[in-house]
Amino acid sequence: MMINIITDICVVGVCRFPLGMSGGQIQDEDISASSQWSDSTAAKYGRLDFEDGDGAWCPVITDEPDSLKEFLQIDLRSLHFITLVGTQGRHAGGIGNEFAQMYKITYSRDGSRWVPWKNRQGKEVIEGNRNAYDIVLKDLEPPIVARFVRFMPVIDHSMNVCMRVELYGCEWLDGLVSYNAPAGQLMILHDMPVYLNDSVYDGAMAYSVMTEGLGQLTDGMSGLDDFTQSHVYNVWPGYDYVGWTNESFPSGFVEIMFEFDRTRNFTTMKVHCNNMFSKWVKTFQKVVCYFRSESDWETTPISFSPVVDDVNPSARFVTVSLHNHMASAIKCQYHFADVWMMFSEITFQSDTAMYNTTLAPSKGPTRTGDNPTHKVDDSNTRILIGCLVAIIFILVAIIIIILWRQVWQKLLEKASRRMLDDELTASLSIQSETFTYNNNNHSSATSEQESNSTYERIFPLGPDYQEPSRLIRKLPEFTKASDEAGESTASAQDGVPHYAEADIVNLQGVTGGNTYAVPALTMDLLSGKDVAVEEFPRQLLTFKEKLGEGQFGEVHLCEAEGMQDFMDEDFISDISENQPMLVAVKMLRADANKNARSDFLKEIKIMSRLKDPNIIRLLAVCICSDPLCMITEYMENGDLNQFLSRHEPEGQIALLSNAPTVSCRNLHYIATQIASGMKYLSSLNFVHRDLATRNCLVGKKFTIKIADFGMSRNLYSGDYYRIQGRAVLPIRWMSWESILLGKFTTASDVWAYGVTLWETLTFCKEQPYSQLSDEQVIENTGEFFRDQKRQIYLPQPPICPDSVYKLMLSCWHRNAKERPSFQEIHRILLECQV
Ligand SMILES: *[C@@H]1O[C@H](CO)[C@@H](O)[C@H](O)[C@H]1NC(C)=O
Ligand SMILES: *[C@@H]1O[C@H](CO)[C@@H](O)[C@H](O)[C@H]1NC(C)=O
Ligand SMILES: *[C@@H]1O[C@H](CO)[C@@H](O)[C@H](O)[C@H]1NC(C)=O
């Protein structure tokens, strides 16, 4: 039972901390209930995994038909993002046998307006317990933002009901309490209706205006590049986005108002926008934001115009700097850049997002933290009132003087005119300040991205959960030796393992793609020698097209003149002399921080050592001046995922649809080449960590090279598990031990190879485990760990021979030692000739 909890919580979904029912951080007085059967079954005994009192909370059962009258209520004291709930019945050492087979949840942010929770399919009832002792965990999809949560057992009078519960999540650092926005609209796309309404809004809807709620824009799930698709299984097209058309907004903008829990010091707003310009959807062309700090709206807004991109159709986060404005509400007008504008997520970063949340999140440190701000504001008001009184006093005195001594009249007129002049100058200077803001926006918007990395999350697991210590490690464990990671390890308190968010940034690597992990052994090898790759004259590169974009840089397709002189003789290229060669240029933004730069240089060092026909080759670099670039081979057929999804297997369907085909023989060739490249990497003890078809590039005649470009993260953001809107880990390709223990080895690369092989044989027509949500994939990982034959394997693709499926299954062996090596895989593939 204990193990079940640990594996389910130790997953990489960061915001899944127990909020303190079992750990005790939630005080007894914050747990209340509609009723209690007796004093010994009061609300405070409703703590998961506790046996105090009579072992659980049990309500009075009456014969009234209203079965949803009873509830157990938890006050978290501040807003929390709640992603998971756990329930258990009353066992009481074998005496009790009461539990809730079904229950519902309602929640509230202010304690007065209660909202029933519904899952993404609109169902309210949650399946509860089957016996009195096992803990049942349920993911809340969509997650909840709330301070108060009520568990309401569905009572059918056939048995008594008792409950013990726990909430899992983390503090809601955005502080957003509600947003008001015009309702999302209906798009008709080639006769297909696309519903761009806010699918999970929990507020009120009247006259096409949504008020007082949170929804899709804050559910931590950003939409796919193609807005008609969704991560969520079995929903309508357009589910992930809220969208509007300019036809309904003569003003040319959509206004959204955001209300916060208190006055905050805002640094940035990030808006996740769709940019499928071929379907008339673009990011916004301008945003104007107004701030309200006390009760009045400030008259000087800030405005920001992102670069409107009609080259790259990927959905993206647009970062808007808010220049440390203090506000408790923000009103933004997003101006259309095309006929449609679609958002899937809006997040705000403010002062508290930087708090080092070393305390268990259930108490309200931020509550006390904001009192000083109010105090300062209060005293300001007092001073202001004082000044006004003084001014009135003086004016009265002046009037008296005027009345009494007409002689002074002319002199006084002069004085007041001067006062007026002063006022005019003052308001002019305010305006010029606004103007500077606008100018600054462009430069500061991009440089901000790293600033949050100092803030770290802790695993506040109770002492009970720490016993099998090998399970609770820092997840994932990175081999990177960056300063930041070193510091955060040192600051771990009381031996509580914790998880630094900075590490995630590192994992994503320099341009958004992760770099190869470097085991200590190979680091020695690297530091011994210098980089064996030459500097290329930047002026000989001609930009052709942007291939991709990552967090810290971009990948461009360029023509390089005279590249032949820079290449080793052993590198065969069929480009004739004097002809410019097409190359891919991965470029670090000039304003990237120090860590990103050192990672980029490290990646160059590593890549310069990799020489294999099935690994993408680093040809040259530009590191003598900014921006830093690495120049690699360009593969004309793009990545394997896109390549295969354009093709069909040979056969009846292909004949009918006239689609280009790939023969079994060539599929076999593709699989063998990937295995061969991985065999080479593993011989050097390199762990790739992100092997997938999206990271394999296709050249002429089905040649394959393994790569890892930054562009993959953006194009395939749906393949990565998101934490509150950020792309993080490719869980559908990761072995169970990578997800649960943070262990990345060649054996976990072998697991990913199995998934890559499966993708190849299904022609990348669907994502692995496409019928499972991210949370279900993680649950399935738990099943792999428990190994009670309940784990789900990827099915055998129709065109996959039995022998190859057997190979795939062996790659997913629970015991990493039993998985084949890449050498064996390569040999087996060569043997099973097609
Ligand atoms: C959004 O539109 C879909 C499809 O018509 C509908 O089923 C759903 O109830 C709507 N949701 C809301 C919150 O209006
Ligand atoms: C807001 O935060 C910034 C950076 O921490 C600080 O410099 C600034 O003084 C703060 N503004 C207010 C009004 O507290
Ligand atoms: C909507 O946007 C398109 C493209 O920018 C423009 O051509 C059209 O005139 C706009 N329609 C309205 C009603 O503003």
The span from the CA of 21 to the CA of 25, in Å, is 7
The span from the CA of 19 to the CA of 25, in Å, is 7
What's the CA-to-centroid distance between 351 and ligand 2, angstroms? 8
State mean pLDDT over 398-410. Answer: 57
Q: What percent of the chain lies above the pLDDT cut of 90?
A: 35
Q: Which residue has the tokens 């309401």?
A: 152
pLDDT for res 387:
56
Nearest CA to ligand 2 atom 6: 324
* Choice from 117, 192, 199 to test ligand 1 binding pocket (greatest atom count within 8 A of CB): 199
What's the CA-to-centroid distance between 408 and ligand 1, angstroms? 73
Q: Could you say which DSSP state residue 744 is in?
A: -
pLDDT for res 436:
27
- pLDDT tens per residue across span 317-364: 999 999 999 999 999 999 999 999 999 999 999 875 443 333 333 333
pLDDT for res 546:
82
Nearest CA to ligand 1 atom 12: 199
Which residue in 690, 708, 719, 774 is the catalytic one? 690
What's the CA-to-centroid distance between 15 and ligand 1, angstroms? 28
Q: Which residue has the higher pLDDT, 310 or 103?
A: 103
The tokens for 10 are 């130790």
Mean pLDDT, the chain, rounded, equals: 75
Ligand 1 closest atom vs CA 183:
14
Whether 338 is in the pocket of ligand 3, judged by its Cβ within 6 Å, is yes
Q: Which ligand is nearest to the CA of 244?
A: 3
The span from the CA of 122 to the CA of 108, in Å, is 18
What's the CA-to-centroid distance between 199 and ligand 1, angstroms? 6
Ligand 1 closest atom vs CA 215:
13
What's the CA-to-centroid distance between 245 and ligand 3, angstroms? 9
2-171 maps to which CATH number? Answer: 2.60.120.260
pLDDT for res 594:
77
The answer, yes or no, to whether the previous bond of 59 is cis (omega within 30 of 0) is no
pLDDT for res 724:
44
Rama region for 612: left / alpha / beta (φ>0; ψ in -120 to 50; rest): beta
Nearest CA to ligand 3 atom 1: 339
Cα 487 to Cα 452, 484, 500, 504, 599: the distances in Å are: 15, 5, 10, 15, 17
The span from the CA of 730 to the CA of 667, in Å, is 24
For domain 176-352, say whether CATH 2.60.120.1190 is its number.
yes
Q: What is the DSSP string of 540-604?
A: GEEEEEEEEE-SSEEEEEEEETTGGGGS-TTS---PPTTS-EEEEEEEE-TT--HHHHHHHHHHH
State mean pLDDT over 78-96. Answer: 90
pLDDT for res 463:
24
Ligand 2 closest atom vs CA 326:
13
CA nearest neighbour of 763 among 648, 636, 638: 648
Nearest CA to ligand 1 atom 4: 195
Tell me if residue 626 is catalytic: no
Would the pLDDT of 558 be above 80? yes
- pLDDT tens per residue across span 251-270: 999 999 999 988 999 999 99
* Choice from 351, 354, 373, 455 to test ligand 2 binding pocket (greatest atom count within 8 A of CB): 351
Ligand 1 pocket, Cβ-based, cut-off 6 angstroms: 195, 197, 199, 201, 236
The span from the CA of 789 to the CA of 507, in Å, is 32
pLDDT band at 385 (very low <50, low <70, confident <90, very high): low
Q: What is the DSSP string of 387-440?
A: HHHHHHHHHHHHHHHHHH-GGGHHHHHHHHHHHHHHHHHHHHHHHHHHHHHHHH
- Which residues have CB under 8 Å from 128's CB, separation 6+? 87, 99, 100, 101, 102, 103, 136, 153
Q: Tell me if 664 sits within 8 A of 650, measured CB to CB.
A: yes
The span from the CA of 189 to the CA of 187, in Å, is 6
Whether 245 is in the pocket of ligand 3, judged by its Cβ within 6 Å, is no
Ligand 3 closest atom vs CA 246:
1
- What residue segments make up the domains of the chain, in order of their start? 2-171, 176-352, 500-831
Whether 246 is in the pocket of ligand 3, judged by its Cβ within 6 Å, is yes
What's the CA-to-centroid distance between 312 and ligand 3, angstroms? 21
- pLDDT tens per residue across span 710-754: 433 444 556 666 544 444 678 899 998 888 777 888 999 999 999
What's the CA-to-centroid distance between 220 and ligand 1, angstroms? 19
Task: Count Cβ atoms below 10 Å from residue 134 Cβ, excluding itself.
Answer: 14
Angle between helices 822-831 and 664-683 (to 10 degrees): 150
The span from the CA of 300 to the CA of 434, in Å, is 7
Burial of 664 (0-12, 13-18, 19+ CB in 10 A): middle
- pLDDT tens per residue across span 754-770: 999 999 999 998 899 98
Nearest CA to ligand 3 atom 4: 338
The tokens for 40 are 């010994």
Nearest CA to ligand 1 atom 10: 199
Q: What percent of the chain lies above the pLDDT cut of 70?
A: 71
Q: Tell me if 641 sits within 8 A of 764, measured CB to CB.
A: yes
What's the CA-to-centroid distance between 322 and ligand 2, angstroms? 12
Ligand 3 closest atom vs CA 245:
1
Compute the 3-state secondary structure of the chain and give helix, strand, coil in percent, each to the nearest 5: 35, 25, 40
CA nearest neighbour of 57 among 77, 38, 30: 38
319 forms beta bridges with 270
Q: Tell me if 131 sits within 8 A of 89, measured CB to CB.
A: yes
Would the pLDDT of 496 be above 80? no
Could you tell me where the DSSP H helices lie in 17-167? none
Q: What are phi and psi of 517, to 5 degrees?
A: -75, 140
The tokens for 148 are 């108060």
Q: Could you say which DSSP state residue 223 is in?
A: P
The tokens for 141 are 């999809």
The tokens for 126 are 């949650």
CA nearest neighbour of 341 among 270, 282, 255: 282
* Choice from 201, 208, 236 to test ligand 1 binding pocket (greatest atom count within 8 A of CB): 236
pLDDT for res 788:
84
* Choice from 195, 198, 217, 219 to test ligand 1 binding pocket (greatest atom count within 8 A of CB): 195
pLDDT for res 542:
87
Topology alike, domains 176-352 and 500-831? no
pLDDT for res 755:
96
Q: Which ligand is nearest to the CA of 195?
A: 1
CA nearest neighbour of 804 among 640, 668, 641, 644: 668
This prediction's pTM: 0.48
User: Which CATH superfamily does the domain covering 500-831 fall into?
Assistant: Transferase(Phosphotransferase) domain 1 (1.10.510.10)
The span from the CA of 678 to the CA of 829, in Å, is 13
Would the pLDDT of 414 be above 80? no
pLDDT band at 563 (very low <50, low <70, confident <90, very high): confident
Q: What is the greatest pairwise CA distance in the chain?
A: 115
Q: Which residue has the higher pLDDT, 103 or 487?
A: 103
Q: Which ligand is nearest to the CA of 122?
A: 1
